[in-house]
Amino acid sequence: MMLKRMKLSTKVYLLIGLALAFLPFINDSRWFMFLMIQIFVFAIFAMSYDLLLGYTGIVSFGHAMFFGVGAYSAAIVMDRMEASFVSFLLGTLVAVLIGGFISFLAGMLTLKLKSHYYAMLTLALAGMFLYIAERWRSVTGGNDGFTFRIPELPGFLEEHRNFVIYLFCLLAMILLFFGMKRITESPLGRVLVGIRENDQRVESLGYRIMPYKVLISVISGMVASLSGVLYAISIRFVDTSVFDIQVTLDALMMTIIGGVGTLTGPIIGSAIINFSHHYLSDLANIHWIFQRWMILFGAIFILAVIFFPNGIVGTIQNKLAKRKTKKKQYDTTEKSLRKEGA
Amino acid sequence: MSESILKLESINTYIDQFHILQKVNFEVKKGELTVLLGRNGAGKTTTLRTIMGLNPASAGTVTFKGENITKGAPYQIANKGIGYVPEDQGIFYDLTVGENMRVAMRHENDETKERLDWSLDLFPDLKRFWKKPAGQLSGGQKQMLAIARSFINETDLILIDEPSKGLAPVIVEAVIDAIEKIKDRTTVVLVEQNFSMAKRLGEKYYILDNGMTMHHGNMKDLEQNEELKRKYLGIG
């Protein structure tokens, strides 16, 4: 009954999710599962970025800050306490709360101004967190970082720890995807799109836009922190690289390649970037020129922007919509011609 | 004599270093359609934006239903019952027609539902293209959507900025018909360069020139006054 009421797109997403859950039964190699976990984690991170950039038009240059805060909060709590599910839950809660609080502060300070102030403040804050992480060695381990233990799983699950983490990250990605999709399709989401297109117009329709911007900034910050938690758990290690600007640029590229304002786009973008990173680096065994895989990746990025100006998902969606409109126009013309003939 | 719903007294507005409005005085009576006339750059659009709080006045007073709204934020002014249709229509291209209407509808109640039905009867095209992205509508349909959207909430005054701009004559006729029906339900301030449209709809007029109020009166009198039309509107 519930399945009947579901939209076709929801059924497709769930089917893909189910297929991904069974993927480790086809390829259970350690590196493949690790790669897929990275894809899921960065898909969540990129979706949180899309919520800001794609749906509200807010540019952040320091989104890595939330990712890093999430990773460090969870890692520090689990390292200081005994590795248990309680410490895991507490670490996650602390990460999400700190992420939410920082994004609230950044939003309150700058979102009343033009968007680039938010971009600059988040960049500055990310730099500040990187500095703190480097200097506060007793807690963060400085540039060397630190490893930590995660709770042991009950019974036979412990033997399949990587598979459990794989499923956990996949489930988190699916749940967060549907959660964010719900937000973007709600009245709140429509107001956010309005703000992105013309914030003055939204204000003169009677909306105070500041709370909307701050709210979405907080949600985005919390989701990004959660992706940081998952990242730290998946590698059981954390170092200062989580605050690197490259992490933010990765999220930006994933969102642009996949399609800004689509949510599914960042997932595809994450898969493309993580796969490219892995396979292009591997090509170094064939020829030394591939050691500079970033050059190749740059070429792929340029081609993607040329052939998919709205990102992969955005361009496909536009083409399908145009085809639908053309078909409708054709049907209407045919109908009227038939009427005239009769 | 009907009561005043909107009053601008000695309004001065700056945009950056430019002194756009210079002591503009302007009064709108409840239930009337008042037209703001003037050449390009006379300050008509800035007057509407000042009323809405989008370009706040640096001096002077804007009074709406007896309340001083000069320093109000745009959302506060809109919530007091002023609808605004900007020159560029301001519709959200990525949202469907239905979503555009729903964003504008701040509260869903019997009153807004009745207004929505009334708007859709007034502009049947909006019903036809309800699920179509607003960016794909024609110029006329976009204008209809912008007007319908400004009217969806309980509104005592609607400010409409150049609704005929860039539209084909046949579409302008449809817009005139719609505004005529809207003015039976609410007070309207119309900025319009198309004098034939202005004289068909307007009861009162104000002429702005170089950011100053130059003349005002009954539209019927202006129709007869060739000198005034030639001097300030470049017609006649």
Q: Do A208 and B54 touch (CB under 8 A)?
A: no
Q: Is the pLDDT of residue A300 over 90?
A: no
A325 touches B at CB < 8 Å: yes
Residues A326 and A278 in one domain: no
> Is A237 buried (19+), middle (13-18) or exposed (0-12) by CB count in 10 A?
middle
A342 pLDDT band (50/70/90 cuts)? low
For residues A159 and A258, state if they share a domain. Answer: yes
Range with lowest mean pLDDT among A176-185, A215-224, A305-314:
A305-314
Quote the pTM value.
Answer: 0.87
* pLDDT at residue A220, rounded to an integer: 96
CATH number at residue A255: 1.10.3470
> What is the average pLDDT value for chain A, to the nearest integer?
89
**What is the 3-class SS of A51-106, one letter each residue?**
HHHHHHCCCCCCCHHHHHHHHHHHHHHHHHCCCCHHHHHHHHHHHHHHHHHHHHHH
Under an 8 A CB cutoff, do A190 and B95 touch?
yes
Residue among B75, B85, B130, B153 with most chain A CBs within 10 A, to mutate: B75
Residue A325 falls within a domain, yes or no?
A: yes
Asked if A261 is an interface residue toward chain B (Cβ–Cβ < 8 A), one would say yes
In a domain, A291, yes or no: yes
Does the residue A36 lie in any domain? yes
Tell me if chain B has a CB within 8 Å of the CB of A201: yes
Q: Please, are residues A233 and A165 in contact by the beta-carbon 8 Å criterion?
A: yes
Range of the domain at A341: 314-342
Q: Give the torsion sign (CA, A160, A278, A303, A241).
A: positive
Please give the full DSSP string across chain B, using - where no structure is assigned. -PPEEEEEEEEEEEETTEEEEEEEEEEEETT-EEEEE--TTSSHHHHHHHHHTSS--SEEEEEETTEE-TT--HHHHHHTTEEEE-TT----TTSBHHHHHHHH-SS-SHHHHHHHHHHHHH-HHHHHTTTSBGGGS-HHHHHHHHHHHHHSS--SEEEEE-TTTT--HHHHHHHHHHHHHHHTTSEEEEE-S-HHHHHHH-SEEEEEETTEEEEEEEHHHHHH-HHHIIIIIS--
What rounded mean pLDDT belongs to chain B? 90
Average pLDDT of span A190-206: 91
pLDDT of residue B187: 94
- What tokens were used for B211? 């950011």
Residue A63 lies in a domain: yes
B154-178 per-position pLDDT tens digit: 889 999 999 888 888 888 888 888 8
Contact A198 B103 (CB under 8 A): no
The token pair at A111 is: 């979102």
Give the mean pLDDT of A308-322. 87
CA distance A102 to A118: 12
Q: How confident is the model at residue A292 (pLDDT cuts 50, 70, 90)?
A: confident
Position A18 in a domain: no
Name residues whose C-beta falls within 8 Å of residue A119's C-beta, 6 or more positions apart in sequence: A59, A60, A61, A62
Chain B interface mutation, best of A198, A203, A205, highest count of B Cβ atoms under 10 Å? A205
Could you report the per-residue pLDDT of A37-50, keeping only the tens digit for each?
Answer: 999 999 999 999 99
Tell me: do A134 and A150 sit in the same domain. Answer: yes
Q: How far is B76 from chain A (nearest CA, A)?
A: 6
Q: How close, in Å, is residue B194 to chain A by CA atoms? A: 25
Same domain assignment for residues A157 and A82 = yes
Confirm or reject contact between A190 and chain B (CB < 8 A).
yes
**Measured between beta carbons, which residues in chain A are less than 8 angstroms from residue B99?**
190, 193
Of A190, A204, A321, the CB nearest to B74: A204
Share of chain A above pLDDT 70, in %: 98
What is the structure's pLDDT at A305?
A: 84
Determine contact: A314 vs chain B, CB below 8 A: no
Residue B229 has pLDDT above 60, yes or no: yes
Nearest to A206 among B90, B93, B106 (CB): B106
Based on the domain organization, do A239 and A210 belong to the same domain? yes
Task: Taking residues B9-24, report their average pLDDT.
Answer: 92
Instruction: Using a pLDDT cut of 90, give the percent of chain A over it.
Output: 59
Rounded to whole angstroms, how far apart are CA atoms A126 and A132? Answer: 10
Alpha carbons B149 and A207: distance in angstroms, whole number: 14
Q: Evaluate if residue A11 carries a pLDDT over 70.
A: yes
Can you read off the two tokens belonging to residue A92?
């996650």
A322: distance to nearest CA of chain B, Å?
10
A194, A204, A207 member nearest B54 (Cβ):
A204
Indicate the pLDDT class of residue A134, thresholds 50, 70 and 90: very high
Per-residue pLDDT reduced to its tens digit, A32-83: 999 999 999 999 999 999 999 999 999 999 999 999 999 999 999 999 988 8
Tell whether A69 and A195 lie within a shared domain: yes
Residue B166: its pLDDT value, please? 82
Chain B residues with CB-CB distance to A321 below 8 A: 133
Residue A211 belongs to a domain = yes
Q: From chain A, pick out residues whose CB is under 8 angstroms from the CB of B74.
A: 200, 203-204
What tokens does A186 get? 């709600």
Examine the domain organization and report whether A171 and A63 are in the same domain. Answer: yes
Q: Does A189 touch chain B (CB under 8 A)?
A: no
Whether residue A333 sits in one domain with residue A247? no
Judge if A278 and A326 occupy the same domain. no
pLDDT of residue A224: 97
Q: Do the chains contact at B103 and A202, CB–CB below 8 Å?
A: yes
Q: Complex ipTM, two decimals?
A: 0.86
Q: Which residues lie closer than 8 Å to A86 by C-beta, 6 or more apart?
A: none
Q: Which residues of B touch A207 (CB under 8 A)?
A: 75, 106
| pLDDT of B1 above 60 | no
Residue A114 has pLDDT above 70, yes or no: no
State residue A324's pLDDT score.
Answer: 76
Same-domain check for residues A260 and A326: no
Residue B221 token pair: 């009198």
In the 8-state DSSP scheme, what is residue A208?
Answer: -
Establish if A303 belongs to a structural domain: yes
Share of chain B above pLDDT 70, in %: 99
In chain B, residues with a C-beta closer than 8 Å to the C-beta of A55 are none
Report whether A210 contacts A112 (CB < 8 A).
yes
Closest-CA distance, A220 to chain B, in angstroms, reads 21
Chain A contact set for B78 (CB, 8 A): 203-206
Mark whether A210 and A335 lie in a shared domain.
Answer: no
Count of domains forming chain A: 2
Pairing of strands B4-15, B18-29: antiparallel
pLDDT value at position B190? 93
Residue B80 is predicted with a pLDDT of 94
Above 90 in pLDDT, residue A301?
Answer: no
- When CB atoms are compared, the residue of B86, B102, B133 closest to A201 is B86
Poorest-pLDDT segment among A78-82, A180-184, B7-11: A78-82
Selecting from B52, B79, B99 the residue whose C-beta is nearest the C-beta of A190 gives: B99
**Nearest CB to B103; choose among A191, A196, A203:** A191
Q: Is residue A258 part of a domain?
A: yes
Q: What would the mean pLDDT of B38-48 be, rounded to a whole number?
A: 91
Does residue A327 come out as left (phi exceeding 0), alpha (psi in the -120 to 50 range) or beta? alpha
Q: Is A198 on the interface with B (CB under 8 A)?
A: yes
Say whether A206 and B79 touch across the interface (CB within 8 A).
Answer: yes
State how far the Cα of B47 lies from the Cα of B43, in Å rounded to an integer.
6
One domain, residues A330 and A298:
no
φ and ψ of A48, to 5 deg: -65, -35
